[in-house]
């Protein structure tokens, strides 16, 4: 039997049929029919954000922390254009979200009507796919296809633009199982010949390394479990991109830490000197490769990725394998075990010994002395006092983001949410709201810089309204820290507009919203203040006043290879360079 209903009711029904339990949104004239349907049901929870960018970032945080598709609902015109930054962020970081936008009625499209924008044209470059739904009879199928595209293959954002008259009109509802999803069927099974070639290379390699990315996490929890099994069985060391943290536990004996521009010395040196690099679900982005012509010059490079366009885009792969990480790792383990579980154990032991020597550089060493809090110390204490909790971490973008990646340890996937590819200041606070909505009983902390946090500070209203106990841990150096660092090291210490002279009193700001405000400037008081933040049953803004001119090391300078890093003064090797850095 066919089901007749309005387009607005179809939207809500399709969301229910797709298993959606939460929508982040902001109403407006062009989506009022959908909001009216939301009002008349109780299965889907709507979270009212304070800005459409916040809605999309919250949907990202929800998706990243659950592995499910996040959903945002916004109105036409400025509502849709405000969503563009979040869409681009999700595209670069492969986050599965569906954004529903309202549009002026079909007969008014192209007339410059009130709050009209070419949403499909504007968002085409920043979505996996988008649709303008002009026919109510095909609306449900379009919505089901949107969810399929968002979560299949390399995940990412999709958008469905729905004119207001389509929402009012009646049409026939199509169930998910009757929808045509053959429009997009990416390859998931890796080529077995290439997998055999990779296993043979693993058996012979003397200095192998696993280089993993967010694709492992996106593939699902079984992919992370298979990765751990493979690493432990072979003894091959493993490093990760910013987006891949947690796929392999930070406490694991083969863990090298994060690699890249602000990665660990031992991870970057291992990548530079390895003879077999096994890239699993990463895309060789510029913050990882450094100088491309000098990137890991003597290694055989294998690249496992579900997105064929990522293969050979930046670095030529000697062994390219297109496929889903879970499927490919399953086959790698099967082939490797069938061939006798062989690796070059003696050579790998020597390789691990070399890595142990690199670790002695102590690239993350710092000295906390005096009465000014070092940002590294603040995050070390945050780690020590929260690591036993059921914890989710989001970040804004800047120095604090890199310090969080360096000093916080992640034992499991989906516990770390940050803006990697786009580097979106303002991402972390709404993302923490999305994660907290998904995990109401967990400890959710957003590690922030004061400048980034102010970009979406309005979402404190959302946190208060929905009683979300998110903790905003602000490392306040009264500077645009990463901008100031680059100006110090690369622009002759000309600090052009990289500081603020008009910051709010964050404690009073928190209280104005009805939240808890905490300020700490003394390292002796830090532990007690963090515990106060953790135990408070509600949203907290924690204003941690830190050293204003601390730089984030290690750092690969722009245009340099992995083995030319700037390290902090406290490291045990090197020569002091400009800016209190050590060149190794």
Quote the CA–CA distance of 319 and 198 in Å, as a whole number.
7
Catalytic: 482?
yes
Catalytic: 40?
no
Q: Specify whether the CB–CB gap between 155 and 95 falls below 8 A.
A: yes
Catalytic option among 164, 374, 471, 516: 164
Catalytic option among 4, 114, 222, 316: 114
Question: What DSSP character marks residue 305?
Answer: E
Q: Specify whether the CB–CB gap between 396 and 446 falls below 8 A.
A: yes
Closest of 556, 581, 175 to residue 402, by C-alpha? 556
CA angle 395, 565, 493 (to 5 degrees): 75
Q: Specify whether the CB–CB gap between 133 and 14 falls below 8 A.
A: no
Catalytic option among 425, 457, 482, 533: 482
Catalytic option among 68, 115, 465, 577: 115
Long-range pairs for 34-41: beta carbons < 8 A, 24 or more residues apart: 34/8, 34/73, 34/100, 34/102, 34/162, 34/167, 35/73, 36/8, 37/6, 37/8, 37/9, 37/11, 37/12, 38/12, 41/12, 41/16
Quote the CA–CA distance of 569 and 580 in Å, as a whole number.
6
Catalytic: 334?
no
- Torsion angles phi and psi, residue 90, rounded to 5: -65, -35
Closest of 153, 154, 100 to residue 131, by C-alpha? 100
Quote the CA–CA distance of 421 and 557 in Å, as a whole number.
18
Quote the CA–CA distance of 304 and 389 in Å, as a whole number.
33
Catalytic: 52?
yes
Closest of 219, 190, 544 to residue 376, by C-alpha? 544
The tokens describing 374, both together, are 């070092």
CA angle 545, 439, 405 (to 5 degrees): 40
Catalytic option among 5, 18, 52, 301: 52
Active site residues: 52, 114-115, 164, 482
């Amino acid at each position: 039997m066919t089901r007749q209903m309005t387009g607005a009711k179809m939207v809500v029904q399709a969301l229910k049929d797709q298993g959606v339990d939460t929508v982040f949104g902001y109403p407006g004239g062009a989506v009022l029919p959908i909001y009216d349907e939301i009002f008349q049901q109780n299965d889907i929870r709507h979270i009212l954000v304070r800005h459409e960018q916040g809605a999309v970032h919250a949907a990202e945080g929800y998706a990243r922390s659950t592995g499910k598709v996040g959903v945002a609902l916004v109105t036409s015109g400025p509502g849709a254009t405000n969503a563009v930054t979040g869409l681009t962020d999700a595209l670069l970081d492969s986050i599965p979200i569906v954004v529903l936008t309202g549009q002026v009625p079909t007969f008014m499209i192209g007339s410059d009507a009130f709050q009209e924008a070419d949403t499909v044209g504007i968002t085409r470059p920043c979505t996996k796919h988008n649709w303008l739904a002009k026919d109510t009879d095909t609306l449900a199928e379009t919505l089901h296809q949107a969810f399929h595209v968002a979560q299949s293959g390399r995940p990412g954002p999709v958008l469905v633009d729905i004119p207001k008259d389509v929402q009012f009109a009646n049409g026939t509802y199509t169930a998910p199982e009757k929808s045509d999803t053959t429009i997009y069927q990416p390859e998931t099974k890796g080529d077995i010949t290439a997998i055999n070639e990779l296993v043979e290379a693993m058996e012979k390699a003397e200095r192998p390394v696993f280089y993993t990315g967010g694709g492992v996490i996106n593939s699902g929890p079984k992919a992370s479990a298979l990765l751990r099994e493979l690493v432990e069985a072979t003894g091959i060391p493993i490093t990760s991109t910013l987006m891949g943290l947690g796929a392999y536990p930070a406490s694991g004996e083969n863990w090298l830490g994060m690699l890249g521009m602000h990665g660990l010395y031992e991870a970057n040196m291992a990548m530079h000197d390895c003879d077999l690099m096994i890239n699993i679900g990463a895309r060789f982005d510029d913050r990882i490769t450094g100088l491309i012509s000098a990137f890991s010059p003597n290694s055989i490079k294998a690249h496992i990725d579900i997105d064929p366009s990522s293969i050979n885009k930046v670095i030529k792969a000697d062994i390219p394998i297109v496929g889903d990480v879970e499927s490919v790792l399953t086959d790698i383990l099967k082939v490797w075990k069938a061939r006798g579980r062989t690796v070059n154990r003696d050579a790998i032991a020597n390789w691990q010994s070399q890595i142990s020597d690199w670790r002695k550089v102590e690239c993350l060493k710092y000295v906390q002395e005096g009465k000014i809090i070092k940002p590294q110390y603040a995050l070390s204490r945050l780690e020590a006092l929260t690591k036993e909790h059921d914890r989710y971490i989001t970040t804004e973008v800047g120095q604090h983001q890199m310090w969080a990646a360096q000093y916080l340890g992640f034992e499991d996937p989906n516990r770390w949410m940050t803006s990697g590819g786009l580097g979106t200041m303002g991402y972390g606070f709404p993302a923490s709201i999305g994660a907290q909505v998904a995990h109401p009983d967990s400890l959710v902390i957003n590690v922030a810089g004061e400048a980034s946090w102010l970009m979406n500070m309005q979402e404190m209203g959302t946190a208060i309204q929905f009683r979300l106990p998110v903790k905003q841990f602000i490392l306040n150096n009264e500077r645009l820290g990463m901008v100031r660092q680059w100006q110090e090291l690369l622009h002759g210490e000309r600090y052009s507009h990289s500081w603020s002279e008009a910051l709010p009193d964050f404690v009073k700001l928190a209280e104005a919203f009805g939240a808890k405000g905490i300020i700490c400037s003394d390292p002796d008081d830090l532990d007690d203040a963090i515990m106060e933040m953790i135990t408070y049953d509600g949203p907290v803004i924690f204003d941690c006043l830190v050293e204003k001119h601390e730089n984030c090391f290690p750092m690969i300078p722009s245009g340099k290879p992995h083995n030319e890093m700037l390290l902090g003064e406290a490291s045990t090797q090197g020569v002091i360079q400009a800016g209190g850095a050590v060149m190794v």
